[in-house]
Amino acid sequence: MGIRNFLIEGVSGTGKTTVCDALQRRGHHAVHGDRELAYQGDPETGRPTDGFRHEHHIWNVTKVEALAADHSNPATFFCGGSRNFPGFLHLFDGVFVLDVDLDTLLHRIDQRVRADPTEWGGRPGDRELLTRLHRTQEDVPRGRVIDATAPVEHVVDEILRHALPSEDK
């Protein structure tokens, strides 16, 4: 829904949801992709699948295309992770990849799971997968890496500095 569209990605626990909330508080149009666009499906075909598997966490490409085509806002920030990002990456003017060290990442996941044991990261094998994904970055698109260990307001400032002309911040 922006004249310019940006993807904010990163491994689970890097702060995508927190950044999205902060952008919204500042009055920017930001979409919680994991809440508003995501479902379990085959990354190649888009067909829905049963159960939950990390590799089947995808976004509805038609919805992403529609939001990106609506130019009623100066910019839209799509925040979240998706295994089918290659199918819509071309719609974005820029990609920001949130990054933290492994200890910070695992601490954040532990806090999330303590608050809600059903959250991603709480099932057997999740921690090992998360550690591998952090190391390899295999399911994160390439983009401008943002140090997300900084306070969220600094992270958002850094994203906006690169995304928008000074008059739009």
67-107 pLDDT tens trace = 999 999 999 999 999 999 999 999 999 999 999 999 999 99
Task: Tell me what percent of the residues of the chain surpass a pLDDT of 90.
Answer: 86
Per-residue confidence (pLDDT) for residue 167, from 0 to 100: 53
Q: Work out the average pLDDT over 154-160.
A: 98
Per-residue confidence (pLDDT) for residue 168, from 0 to 100: 52
76 contacts: CB under 8 Å, gap ≥ 6: 1, 2, 4, 5, 6, 29, 30, 31, 67, 68
Could you read off the pLDDT of 3-44 as tens digits, one per residue? 999 999 999 999 999 999 999 999 999 999 999 999 999 999
Q: Quick check: 111 pLDDT over 70?
A: yes
Q: Quick check: 169 pLDDT over 60?
A: no
Both tokens of residue 117?
């044991």
Per-residue confidence (pLDDT) for residue 120, from 0 to 100: 81
- Strand 38-40 relative to strand 57-59: parallel, antiparallel, unpaired? antiparallel
Per-residue confidence (pLDDT) for residue 118, from 0 to 100: 83
Per-residue confidence (pLDDT) for residue 52, from 0 to 100: 84
| pLDDT band at residue 51 under the 50/70/90 scheme | confident
Helix, strand and coil percent figures for the chain, each rounded to 5: 45, 20, 35
| pLDDT band at residue 123 under the 50/70/90 scheme | confident
| pLDDT band at residue 130 under the 50/70/90 scheme | very high
